[in-house]
Chain A
Amino acid sequence: MSFYVVQFITGLASACSLFLVASGLSIIFGVTRIVNFAHGAFYMLGAYVAYTAIERLGPALGFWPAALLACVAVAAIGALVEMTLLRRIYDAPELFQLLATFGVTLAVEDLVLLIWGPNELLGPRAPGFKGAVPILGQLFPTYDLLLIGLAPVVLIALWLLFRRTHWGVLVRAATQDREMAAALGVNQKWLFTSVFALGVFLAALGGALALPREAASHDMDMSVILESLVVVVIGGLGSLPGAFLAAVLVAELNAFGILVLPGVSMALSFVVMALVLVVRPWGLLGKPEALSRPPTGAGATRWRPLDTRGRLAVVLALALVAALPLVGGPYALNVASELAIFALFAASLHFLVGGAGLVSFGHAAYFGLGAYGAALAVKTLGLGMAPAIGCGVLLALAGGIVFGWFCVRLTGVHSAMLTLAFSQVVWSVAFQWTDVTGGDNGIIGVWPAAWAASPQRFFWLCLAVCALAAGLLRVILFSPFGYALRALRDSEPRAATIGIARQPMQWAGFALAAAFAGLAGALYAFLKGSVFPDTLGIPLSIDGLVMVLVGGVDTISGGIVGAVLFRGLSIWTISHTDYSRLVDGALIVALVLMFPRGLIGTISARFKR
């Protein structure tokens, strides 16, 4: 019994940092409507800067002032990011904002690595809270008790700030109707900056407070941002009491999940989030979203099928690419096969984002399901390459059908968060279910059939399959089903008045996109001869979105061009620099700022002028 009490209290203590980060995320979303993916990065910065501040300034200032100073410094960095980056993209589609803040996250990860080095840093203990007290016969760290007491204090302080100060009233007004607030003379710029700085301060405080409990490491941001997103979505975007409640819930799920279901403990909170969203789409204490901007920014230009010249050009280009084995060696063919596979992956995501107007932050889940399906078919069923690829596609399709059913029930950011949650569920199953998936060691020895084993033959196979599949996706976009998807993307009410129901159509679109991603994933398994959990990780999902963005959401073939450019560039940067995340992150941010319509979109818009 007392063991469970201890577990419960430990869970409460972890809930404190989680609540701080999640409340910051929630406040920022409430006013700016931006889901700040970089919030985990600010949490991490909080921990590292606090470590240095306590080490350098602690002796002179004392522990707590030094830690607080560190949080203020991180908040100032946050304000700077808001002024230089976010201010330019408040009106951009949600997709761009998430990508930009994800770019910041990548860059910060490498900067932390550069400044503080790769080793974990164990923070100093807080003076006065080094001991432990016995509770029900178990020793309990007093620092944990401090954290448990602190969370409600912060909640009440924030509540007072928003209810009792003029600034708080302005923030609540702007949360509800930005334009009207401006029309009453409220300067939103500084209001937004101050809100963002407050949110970042809370994240940094969460990081600094976590320091005496767990070491600072340069990958602590990812797990925190994912958990905070879960918390904020369960609690209701924009609701502080909701964030508090959900932080406790998620922290306890983590504390007890590891006892009850050790195999899938990581997936547990994501499953709970999915369930909550289906029952209460706006979270436990959230309110329905009044208006939502176009999530993807597609639909501004009219798409036309290729004319004869265009078709000829495509055939010619394919023929040229198919001649690559005449000049390229095995490495070039390997890279080219990979590019073809990612072109199909990006095309399937583009079908979803640009065609159906659904933002997916977990499209890699279906790529990975395809890869795992094919690999498992080879390894456990002993199937050959072609039927194994079929199995991969079926597994991805099944995943798309199951998860898609949930995802199309919601819209906008909420739906995107759900796709993220499901991909995390799939990832943690692949990571933790070692008996079947091999866990972190993956599945190796997945080689193509003899007839396709040589590099040039496998390249031709990839090229043919991917070109046909991408072509098919394009044909679908110009079929009645494709028109229905695009109509729903542009205006659900108008589509509804001519008898097009959103959910069944988008469900079918989602499943279809998943199946095509699965095809790409299955090919990828045979190209690499192995499958690892990172084929269904969030970074790959984001890469896919960057490819679509580079090409332009609003173009029909943007995904393909973007995939070749971006994947080619990442293959190059990984082999040429140690700080590929910094380069990638900076690149993503630059792209969002310079080419809001994507490279291809911007270029073709120039030509049309």
Chain B
Amino acid sequence: MSNGLTVQNLSAYYGRARALFDVSLDVAPGEAVALIGRNGAGKSTTFRAILGLMKSRGGAVHFDGQDLARMPTHAIVRLGLGYVPEDRRIFSDLTVAENLSVGRRPARAGEAWTPERLYEIFPNLAELRHRAGARMSGGEQQMLSIARTLMGNPSMLLLDEPSEGLAPRIVEQMIEAIARMKREGLGMLVAEQNLAFARLVAERVYVIEKGAVRFSGTMAEFDAAPHVRDAYLAL
């Protein structure tokens, strides 16, 4: 198995309802890939199935050569596959600094992320470090959610709709932060509905609709295939 993330014929179920149909995708180390689709297309479910958060799943998922099929979530994350959930899921009773410390894991290679380095990328957080998570704006929570995952020193990130519900000014900061993470060598799979945002951060794209991958290719190939966009992404 090669390095990076490889997903083959992933399926997942909510009770008896099938949510994913043979989803296959891969992300090379250091590569940024977008997973785009409408609301309910299966983006979040794909992430949850990769991380073992769905009880009932099938297919094969490998990360850096390791088979994730029977691994509990925390062990998968410890391999270096960080996860930033769609709804941010900040621990609202904990302060910013405490939220960061929950994510703390030793670095496998290179320089470890520390709260101080993260406060450089997300300057807003530095001022809030002793504030409870409940008393933060949506944008600040999104920054904290990413920073908290980075504290685990992942080599690849699963980012679920990082631009959702953010003010344009915050989205710009987010794009900057993602660019910085790419420079640090992080691979990432970004689930998005916002095409403009996806285009700015990713080199390759998968289009997902009704739990199945309908298109895959480079950003240029995607732009050259307007029928894909009309069929699966237009309202």
Q: Interface residues, chain A, CB within 8 Å of chain B? A: 166, 169-170, 172-173, 175-177, 179-189
- A170 partner, pick from B83, B85, B93, B102, beta carbons under 8 A: B102
- Given contacts A173-B102, A180-B85, A181-B102, whether A188 and B91 have CB atoms under 8 Å apart is no
Question: For residue B93, which residues in chain A have a CB less than 8 angstroms away from its CB?
Answer: 172, 175-176
User: Cβ of B91 and Cβ of A186 under 8 Å apart?
Assistant: no
Report whether A169 and B74 are in contact in the complex, using a CB–CB cutoff of 8 Å: no
Quick check: is B173 within 8 A (CB to CB) of the other chain? no
Q: Does B105 contact A (CB under 8 A)?
A: yes
A478 to B108, CA, bound (A): 61
* Cβ < 8 Å to A, chain B residues 66-96: 72-75, 77-78, 83, 85, 89, 91-94
B155 CB-CB contact with A under 8 Å: no
Complex Cα gap A182–B51 (Å) = 10
B interface residues (Cβ-Cβ under 8 A, vs A): 51, 53, 72-75, 77-78, 83, 85, 89, 91-94, 98-99, 101-105, 148-149, 152
Contact of B53 among A166, A179, A181, A186 (CB under 8 A): A179
Given known A166-B101, A170-B102, A173-B102, contact A183–B91 (CB-CB < 8 A): no
A293 CB to nearest chain B CB (Å)? 14
Q: Which residues of B contact A166 (CB under 8 A)?
A: 101, 104
- Our pick among B75, B89, B98, B101 for the contact of A180 (Cβ within 8 Å) is B89
Question: Chain B nearest CB: distance from A174 CB in Å?
Answer: 9
A362 to B212, CA, bound (A): 50
For B133, the closest partner residue in chain A by CB is A176
Q: What residues of B have a CB within 8 angstroms of the CB of A175 in the complex?
A: 93
Smallest Cβ-Cβ distance to A179: which chain B residue: B53
Residues of A within 8 A of B98 (CB): 169, 172-173
B89 touches A185 (CB 8 A): no
Q: Considering only CB atoms, which chain B residue lies closest to A300 in the complex? A: B15
B78 touches A185 (CB 8 A): yes
| A232 and B220 alpha carbons, distance in the complex (Å) | 61
Chain A residues near B51 (CB, 8 Å)? 183
Chain A, Cβ-Cβ closest to B52: A182
User: How many Å lie between the Cα of A452 and that of B83 in the bound state?
Assistant: 71
Give A290's nearest chain B residue, CB to CB.
B92
Residues of B within 8 A of A181 (CB): 102
Q: Is B53's CB under 8 angstroms from A184's CB?
A: no
Please list 30 pairs of residues, one from A and one from B, whose beta carbons are closer than 8 Å in the complex, sorted by A's number.
A166-B101, A169-B98, A169-B102, A170-B102, A172-B94, A173-B91, A173-B102, A176-B91, A176-B94, A177-B91, A179-B53, A179-B73, A181-B102, A182-B53, A182-B72, A182-B77, A183-B51, A183-B53, A183-B73, A183-B83, A183-B85, A184-B77, A184-B102, A184-B103, A184-B152, A185-B74, A185-B103, A185-B152, A186-B74, A186-B102
Say yes or no: A185 contacts B91, CB within 8 Å: no
Report Cα–Cα, A169/B96, bound state, in Å. 12
CA distance A184 to B152 in the complex (A): 7
| In contact, B102 and A188 (Cβ under 8 angstroms) | no
**Which residue of chain A has the shortest Cβ distance to B87 in the bound complex?**
A180
Q: Least Cβ distance of A167 to chain B in Å?
A: 11
A92 nearest CB across to chain B (Å): 13
Once the chains bind, are A182 and B102 in contact (CB under 8 Å)?
no
Q: Give every chain A residue within 8 A of B99 (Cβ-Cβ).
A: 173
B32 CB to nearest A CB, Å? 21
Give chain B nearest CB distance to A185 CB in angstroms.
4
> Shortest 7 CB-CB distances between A and B: which pairs?
A185-B77, A182-B73, A180-B89, A173-B102, A184-B103, A173-B91, A185-B78
| Contact call B73/A177, Cβ cutoff below 8 A | no
A177-B77 in contact given A166-B101, A169-B102 (Cβ < 8 Å): no
Q: In this complex, what residue of B is CB-closest to A191?
A: B74
Contacts of B102 in A (CB 8 A): 169-170, 173, 181, 184, 186
